[in-house]
């Protein structure tokens, strides 16, 4: 590929960059830290608070990053490789300071410098608020992908929305109920972003269409305009001098206000009205795996898509391929320069939007535009739950995005003609495959739009990718079998092992060196060490230190004493019926009753840790949280139970809390109904940190089992086929309730108010409507198998040496679940891109 030569001016500019002092040694860090405290924060050590020190440290670290960021972006400009654009409504980034220091390789220097200044770096790091611009797995996946893209040197960009309020902060009131507090995360500033007010872009809504010819071209006029202002966030790769960009858009009211107001003399009204437009980027919708068809959400999705595509088209035009000298840009090479990945259907309006830009702005014909569009986009499906699939009302689309609705109808009409040609007279198939769902409230099925327009469609774990081919997208698979792919999810080993678990990381480095950090398959080399007594002992010590640390955290934040030699049994994820936290808490009640019935019998002590947020409007999920807390209150205060069984609902599960909990886990609960969890990524984080999994054959659990062997997991319950069968023959949860005495007893206790003496009917709705009448996710059908698996876990925990050998084997088998591997597969099998920058290697010197 041709490389643009540097002009003399550009050469001079590049030399001037080298004069900036580097913050990469202890003295340099101290100098920079003091300089920022003085000049940036305008404080001295007498008045400085811990937050000031934290801020000074962020600025110091940022200084190290800046030059690498500029150089990386210039390198992309000069080499002009094919770019990857990841479009996501969510980026669940968590904290940046610790991760950035590690990826830049200056963690040791910063640690030492602050120590010399009499400061504790860990304490400072706790001042950082999480960037919670995501709900759960989908948003965290996007964050892990950005880390892996940068670490492997791909010319990639993450595009999203800079919500002013991220995922709400969860608190628990004295009745055990979830209370949501708005997450005003920008209150004390965000040290990792750079606003770019000079790159404002207009985004249009409402208005009407004027047809300017007999063809497919329209003018979209009389629109309301909102501006999108970019904020750039640096994404450092691991030790490879590469810093990519995540660009987040903020809504800004139209410059100069609305002239009509001024003519009417309503100056105050004009100023206040700005607020309305700027609401678009105000708040993240807090629903996980659930579609809410609200106008504001539709506007958010289009806002992201419109601003991002303008940016992508502008960048294409400034590259040599766009040949900006021509009056009319040649877009035929667009798919060779641009790959756009849609994280679920949330950004799927990008498809009609790019058609609109090509036709109405760039003057291409429908066929020219369609040919390019269908080689540009790829779609990732994240769920098969019907309530999660986006189906936008046509009435709403017509009002807010009239041009896009016309384009979608045209795509549909051509698509259905094609289907009619392939299956003449098969009217039912045509109805099933339509993008338009007829009915009282006509809707557009956005997944169908994606499958028709994208050149690749992928699921996120092997089993999930099979399920979409033979259930929800079967008809489409029959027409386009080659479009359908699998890309099993992964997590970044930097944040989810190196950063969060330094004790275990050091132990692994002792045995394997440092290769595993960028090549996680190296962990396999740990397998032989289970025969070394010393290694197993050190592993157990590492786990124990992590458990002790978590125990201290629980004591200091909740005042609960936990026995850190007990089994740490963890279920952390969004609260959802399909994830079956209800099954977990029912088993806890069974255990409680067993101890009460037989207080002198042997019992393997457990600390059951549960955490996760419920969507604020999801009543049943909120009742599950309340039930957990009410059971905890009774069990934890029962003197007969003592420290044999404790239940802690750890409130406000966020990324930084996950980093504290996961390294301390013994048992990881991944107990969703088979066929409902597309992949899961929490399961992978726990495995990587040496927890054993109790789980169903669902999502990525299936592949974890293939990697580590069934003998090193506690697999239980119905498989997808069994679930289908039981659904067909008919499932009555009351049969199980009547037949299993321990289940009956636990449920009767809940219904009689045993755990809620002040409010005896607290769980009638949850237990009667969502368990006994309609147990949609087969909790009772899987319960006996679950109890059996739990008993196996307890039995094994009596012998820590065998337990922790299996834990080591889990770490050794976790290599597949690196997001580096996932990203390589996307790059090779979907995007057709190669790395532009180098990958770090511990044996070779770092690139220039
Ligand atoms: C990884 C992660 C998730 C996803 O967990 P699952 O068990 O896969 O649902 C959710 N929230 C946070 C904070 C995470 O780190």
pLDDT at 231 over 90: yes
In ligand 1, the atom with minimum distance to the C-alpha of 654 is 13
Across all residues in the chain, what is the average pLDDT?
Answer: 95
pLDDT (tens digit per residue) in 467-522: 999 999 999 999 999 999 999 999 999 999 999 999 999 999 999 999 999 999 99
pLDDT at res. 216: 77
488/580 Cα distance (integer angstroms): 23
pLDDT at res. 259: 57
pLDDT (tens digit per residue) in 787-815: 999 999 999 999 999 999 999 999 999 99
In ligand 1, the atom with minimum distance to the C-alpha of 94 is 13
Q: What are phi and psi of 339, to 5 degrees?
A: -120, 130
102/94 Cα distance (integer angstroms): 15
Average pLDDT over residues 545-570: 97
Average pLDDT over residues 554-582: 97
- Ligand 1 near 680 CB (within 6 A): yes
Q: Which of 30, 685, 770, 816 is labelled catalytic?
A: 685
pLDDT at res. 261: 57
Minimum mean pLDDT range among 299-313, 325-339, 398-412: 325-339
pLDDT (tens digit per residue) in 601-627: 999 999 999 999 999 999 999 999 999
Q: What are phi and psi of 375, to 5 degrees?
A: -110, 5
Centre of ligand 1 to C-alpha 694, Å, is 16
Nearest 5°: the CA angle 329, 89, 207 is: 60
Average pLDDT over residues 124-132: 98
Mutate to test the pocket of ligand 1, among 134, 388, 491, 572 (most ligand atoms within 8 A of CB): 572
Average pLDDT over residues 125-154: 98
Contacts of 681 (CB under 8 A, 6+ apart): 137, 140, 141, 144, 489, 490, 491, 700
Average pLDDT over residues 44-66: 97
Centre of ligand 1 to C-alpha 501, Å, is 17
Average pLDDT over residues 29-39: 97
* Partner residues linked to 491 by β-bridges: 818
pLDDT at res. 258: 54
What domains are defined for the chain? 1-78+97-126 (no CATH), 80-95+130-457 (3.40.50.2000), 531-817 (3.40.50.2000)
pLDDT at 19 over 70: no
- Ligand 1 near 236 CB (within 6 A): no
User: What secondary structure letter does DSSP report for 847?
Assistant: P
pLDDT at 846 over 50: no
Nearest alpha carbon to residue 380 among 298, 454, 307, 294: 454
- Report the greatest alpha carbon distance in the chain: 87
Q: Would strands 243-253 and 436-437 be described as parallel, antiparallel, or unpaired?
A: unpaired
- Ligand 1 near 699 CB (within 6 A): no
Q: How confident is the model at residue 13 (pLDDT cuts 50, 70, 90)?
A: low
Minimum mean pLDDT range among 23-32, 739-748, 801-810: 23-32
pLDDT (tens digit per residue) in 287-329: 999 999 999 999 999 999 999 999 999 999 998 665 555 578 9
pLDDT at res. 14: 55
pLDDT at res. 320: 63
pLDDT at 15 over 90: no
**HSE-up of residue 575 (Cα within 13 Å, Cβ side):** 31
> Does 573 qualify as catalytic in the annotation?
yes
In ligand 1, the atom with minimum distance to the C-alpha of 612 is 11
In ligand 1, the atom with minimum distance to the C-alpha of 136 is 10
pLDDT at res. 275: 77
Q: How confident is the model at residue 2 (pLDDT cuts 50, 70, 90)?
A: very low
Q: Which of 151, 681, 696, 822 is labelled catalytic?
A: 681
Centre of ligand 1 to C-alpha 314, Å, is 35
Report if pTM > 0.75: yes
pLDDT at res. 269: 77
> Does 557 qualify as catalytic in the annotation?
no
pLDDT (tens digit per residue) in 629-676: 999 999 999 999 999 999 999 999 999 999 999 999 999 999 999 999
Nearest alpha carbon to residue 343 among 434, 462, 235, 458: 458
In ligand 1, the atom with minimum distance to the C-alpha of 655 is 13
pLDDT at 273 over 50: yes
Q: Is 256 exposed, middle or buried (0-12, 13-18, 19+ CB in 10 A)?
A: exposed
Question: Within 10 Å of residue 640's Cβ, how many Cβ atoms?
Answer: 9
pLDDT at res. 520: 98
- Do 371 and 337 form a contact (C-beta atoms < 8 A)? no
pLDDT (tens digit per residue) in 711-740: 999 999 999 999 999 999 999 999 999 999
340/308 Cα distance (integer angstroms): 10
pLDDT at res. 845: 47
121/108 Cα distance (integer angstroms): 11
Centre of ligand 1 to C-alpha 462, Å, is 19
Q: What are phi and psi of 201, to 5 degrees?
A: -125, 140
pLDDT at res. 847: 42
pLDDT at res. 24: 83
189/129 Cα distance (integer angstroms): 10
Nearest CA residue ID for atom 10, ligand 1: 136
pLDDT at res. 263: 63
Question: 782 in helix, strand or coil?
Answer: helix
> Does 579 qualify as catalytic in the annotation?
yes
pLDDT (tens digit per residue) in 356-397: 999 999 999 999 999 999 999 999 999 999 999 999 999 999
């Amino acid at each position: 590929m041709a490389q643009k030569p540097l002009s003399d001016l550009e050469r001079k500019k590049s030399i001037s960059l080298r004069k900036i002092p580097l913050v990469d040694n202890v003295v340099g860090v101290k100098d920079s830290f003091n300089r920022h405290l003085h000049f940036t924060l305008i404080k001295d050590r007498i008045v400085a608070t811990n937050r000031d020190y934290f801020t000074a440290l962020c600025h110091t670290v940022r200084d190290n990053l800046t030059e690498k960021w500029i150089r990386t972006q210039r390198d992309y400009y000069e080499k002009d490789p094919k770019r990857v654009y990841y479009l996501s409504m969510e980026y669940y980034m968590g904290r940046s300071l610790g991760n950035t220091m590690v990826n830049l390789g200056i963690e040791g220097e910063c640690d030492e410098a602050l120590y010399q200044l009499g400061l504790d770096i860990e304490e400072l790091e706790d001042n950082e608020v999480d960037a919670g611009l995501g709900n759960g797995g989908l948003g965290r996946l996007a964050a892990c992908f950005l880390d892996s893209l940068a670490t492997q040197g791909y010319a990639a960009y993450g595009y999203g929305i800079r919500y002013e309020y991220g995922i709400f902060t969860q608190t628990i009131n004295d009745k055990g109920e979830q209370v949501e507090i708005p997450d005003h995360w920008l209150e004390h500033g965000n040290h990792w972003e750079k606003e770019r007010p000079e790159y404002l872009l207009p985004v249009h809504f409402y208005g009407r269409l004027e047809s300017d010819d007999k063809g497919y071209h329209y003018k979209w006029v009389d629109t309301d305009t909102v501006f999108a202002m970019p904020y750039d966030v640096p994404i450092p790769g691991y030790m490879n001098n590469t810093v990519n960009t995540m660009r987040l858009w903020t809504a800004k009211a139209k410059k100069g206000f609305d002239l009509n107001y001024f003519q009417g003399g309503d100056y105050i009204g004009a100023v206040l009205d700005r607020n309305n437009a700027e609401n678009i980027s105000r708040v993240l919708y807090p629903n996980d795996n659930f579609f809410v068809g609200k106008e504001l959400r539709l506007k958010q999705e289009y806002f992201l898509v419109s601003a991002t595509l303008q940016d992508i088209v502008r960048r294409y035009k400034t590259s040599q391929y766009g040949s900006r000298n021509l009056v009319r840009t040649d877009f035929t090479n667009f798919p060779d320069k641009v790959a756009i990945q849609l994280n679920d259907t949330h950004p799927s309006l990008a498809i009609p939007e790019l058609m609109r830009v090509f036709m109405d702005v760039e003057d291409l014909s429908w066929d020219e535009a369609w040919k390019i569009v269908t080689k540009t986009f790829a779609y990732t499906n994240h769920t098969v739950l019907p309530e999660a699939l986006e189906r936008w009302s046509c009435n709403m689309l017509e009002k807010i995005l009239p041009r896009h609705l016309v384009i979608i109808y045209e795509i549909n009409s051509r698509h259905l003609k094609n289907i009619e040609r392939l299956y003449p007279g098969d009217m039912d198939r045509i109805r099933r495959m339509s993008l338009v769902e007829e009915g009282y409230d006509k809707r557009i099925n956005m997944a169908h739009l994606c499958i028709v327009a994208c050149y690749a469609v992928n699921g996120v774990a092997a089993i999930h990718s099979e399920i979409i081919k033979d259930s929800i997208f079967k008809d489409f698979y029959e027409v386009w079998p080659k479009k359908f792919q699998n890309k099993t999810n992964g997590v970044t080993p930097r944040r989810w092992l190196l950063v969060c678990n330094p004790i275990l990381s050091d132990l692994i480095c002792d045995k394997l060196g440092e290769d595993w950090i960028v090549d996680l398959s190296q962990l396999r080399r740990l397998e032989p060490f289970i025969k070394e007594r010393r290694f197993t002992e050190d592993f157990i010590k590492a786990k124990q230190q992590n458990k002790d640390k978590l125990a201290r955290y629980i004591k200091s934040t909740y005042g609960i004493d936990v026995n850190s030699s007990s089994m740490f049994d963890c279920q952390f994820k969004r609260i959802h019926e399909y994830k079956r936290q209800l099954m977990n808490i029912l088993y806890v009640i069974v255990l409680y009753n067993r101890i009460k019935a037989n207080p002198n019998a042997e019992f393997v002590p457990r600390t059951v840790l549960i955490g996760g947020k419920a969507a604020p409007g999801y009543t049943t999920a909120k009742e599950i949280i309340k039930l957990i807390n009410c059971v905890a209150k009774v069990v934890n205060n029962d003197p007969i139970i003592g420290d044999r069984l404790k239940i802690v609902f750890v409130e406000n599960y966020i990324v930084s809390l996950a980093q504290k909990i996961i390294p301390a886990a013994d048992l990881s609960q991944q107990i969703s109904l088979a066929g409902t969890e597309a992949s899961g990524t929490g399961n992978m984080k726990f495995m990587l940190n040496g927890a054993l999994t109790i789980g169903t054959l669902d999502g990525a659990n299936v592949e974890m089992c293939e990697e580590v062997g069934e003998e090193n997991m506690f697999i239980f319950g119905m498989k997808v086929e069994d679930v289908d069968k039981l659904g067909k023959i008919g499932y009555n949860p009351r049969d199980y309730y009547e037949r299993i005495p321990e289940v009956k007893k636990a449920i009767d206790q809940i219904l009689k108010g045993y755990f809620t003496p002040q409010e005896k009917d607290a769980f009638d709705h949850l237990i009667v409507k969502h368990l006994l009448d309609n147990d949609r996710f087969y909790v009772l059908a899987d319960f006996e198998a679950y109890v059996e698996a739990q008993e196996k876990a307890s039995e094994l925990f009596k012998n820590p040496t065998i337990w922790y050998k299996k834990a080591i084997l889990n770490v050794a088998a976790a290599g597949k679940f690196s997001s580096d591997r996932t990203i390589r597969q996307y790059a090779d099998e979907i995007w057709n891109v190669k790395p532009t920058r180098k990958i770090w290697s511990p044996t070779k010197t770092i690139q220039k």
